[in-house]
Structure 1
């Protein structure tokens, strides 16, 4: 079962600053590509995209260059990254940042963390105008919001930026521990009606109760499939953040359980094919097989 991981976090605190980890001691420390590969190489992960880790703003470009150096080595499974961006900047500053990204071909898309920001940050005219600039440059936008922000942030952005390919991270962060399907379920259905929106099956173990089982995740996963179909879903590990709900191999095993009865073609769409298309990646060498 060959997998493209579209949501791998790498953390190098000796080189970069992650101020947010002060509140999450479990995630402090190094999370290197070597540590990740030691966990997943025998579990079918063939290629990966590094997802920005909300470094301090002054370190954004340094993070991009650090990952570029890892990609250039050619001896890891990291093919590229989704870089941090600041669409709340003025048009001139944002355009200049995109000019700098264009010189870094390993950047396949960008993200601005929104689940820790007030809604006003992302509902301004400037924010939407800059996201539309992303679309004209051919970059995707990973959208990370709380379930409570799906209607107030995600839906308006999708409507104001219809030409931008948006990937909703972490299934929209549903509250699985409390079995809160609504209003998440209705908001996901509404988002899926926007053809420019895709969804990343990732991060949900962090929202499940301790001792979760795959069947606790199943109602959420099946609703995503029903709404988005197999061609608009990608998979991500969210390592090492996934350690808050169990290590990456527990999430890989849960993924296999969730798709065990699906066709080879459906599995391939979720686990690799859609990532190749959305993030302009190299295809995996072999087809995904069940079993």
Structure 2
């Protein structure tokens, strides 16, 4: 069974998403009940919700909303990676609340749509270092050109467990293998970084990709990080831009042909259960 470490629920009646109107294919409700049906069909047994960059004033509301979803009978949701603003002065106050709530498994500040120097701000770096030694992970969602800044952040906080989202967001459709390939190799040398095998179907040509299209990107990420430092994510509903959840799960199984049962188990569930105590 699969642990999905990257589900986004979008409910426009419940929350505000400032960015959504600029992404027309996703500009509608993507509710948990719709995800759950496909997830169960795909063999997903446990899910972590990933923050959806809601309006800053609604961050706590998003966490509360997702928690209500987790409390439904037989819900797949076992925890949440919540939104944060390390560049703001009130981060430390929020951190105390997150640490006291076992439902909160980690944090993320979306970086790939922000100015490249955001993670270089002194307050941002100071607040990320506050996570050192805690159970909370920090997801890095960066473009290939930003991977060097992600590496610098990781090096400044060696006691923080970082999760690199979406294989480092490669441009698969454009076959842009550099600097992505070299920087994945480099960031993987940091033992406090785990790679998330997710998102890649949205970066390939939606009309023509097949499992073999994704193989060089997925295999390089897994080879660089090793089987003990990779987890799997659906990136639903963003994965619908490249064929959807069931297509991505099927491609994943095709890409894992030849891997041992132990290696498959580590990627698909065991590593996630260990990292987030699921």
TM-score range, shorter chain: over 0.9
CA distance in 2: counterparts of 1:279 and 1:29, whole angstroms: 30
Q: Which residue of the partner structure matches residue 195 of structure 1?
A: 191
Tell me the TM-score normalized by structure 1.
Answer: 0.93
CA distance in 2: counterparts of 1:81 and 1:53, whole angstroms: 11
CA distance in 2: counterparts of 1:143 and 1:126, whole angstroms: 17
Identify unmatched segments of 5+ residues in structure 2. Answer: none
1:114 alignment partner, one of 111, 115, 119: 111
Matching of residue 221 in structure 1 with residue 218 in structure 2: yes
Q: Which residue of the partner structure matches residue 52 of structure 2?
A: 53
1:172 alignment partner, one of 164, 168, 171: 168
Of stretches 76-85 and 118-127 in structure 1, the one that deviates more from structure 2 is 118-127
CA offset digits 1:96-116 (Å, max 9, x no partner): 111222343211000000001
- How far has the Cα of 1:85 moved from its partner? 0.5
Matching of residue 72 in structure 1 with residue 71 in structure 2: yes
Q: Spell out the pairing of 1:1-291 with structure 2 (5 A cutoff).
A: 2-90=1-89, 93-151=90-148, 153-210=149-206, 211-281=208-278
CA offset digits 1:178-221 (Å, max 9, x no partner): 11111111000100111111100000111101320110110111
CA offset digits 1:219-269 (Å, max 9, x no partner): 111111211000000000000011111111110110010002111000000
- The alignment partner of 1:222 has SS state of helix
CA distance in 1: counterparts of 2:99 and 2:194, whole angstroms: 24
- The alignment partner of 2:12 has SS state of coil
Of stretches 66-75 and 124-133 in structure 1, the one that deviates more from structure 2 is 66-75
CA distance in 1: counterparts of 2:85 and 2:61, whole angstroms: 15
CA distance in 1: counterparts of 2:132 and 2:47, whole angstroms: 23
What do you get for the CA RMSD once the two structures are aligned? 1.0
Identify unmatched segments of 5+ residues in structure 1. Answer: 282-291
Corresponding residue pairs, total = 277
Q: Tell me, yes or no, if the aligned pair for 2:134 and 2:160 is still in contact at 8 Å.
A: no
CA distance in 1: counterparts of 2:205 and 2:10, whole angstroms: 26
CA distance in 2: counterparts of 1:193 and 1:31, whole angstroms: 37
- How far has the Cα of 1:74 moved from its partner? 4.1
Tell me the TM-score normalized by structure 2.
Answer: 0.97
Of stretches 63-72 and 167-176 in structure 1, the one that deviates more from structure 2 is 63-72
Q: Tell me, yes or no, if the aligned pair for 2:99 and 2:136 is still in contact at 8 Å.
A: no
Of stretches 192-201 and 177-186 in structure 1, the one that deviates more from structure 2 is 177-186
CA distance in 2: counterparts of 1:17 and 1:74, whole angstroms: 26
Q: Which runs of 4+ in 1 moved over 3 A?
A: none
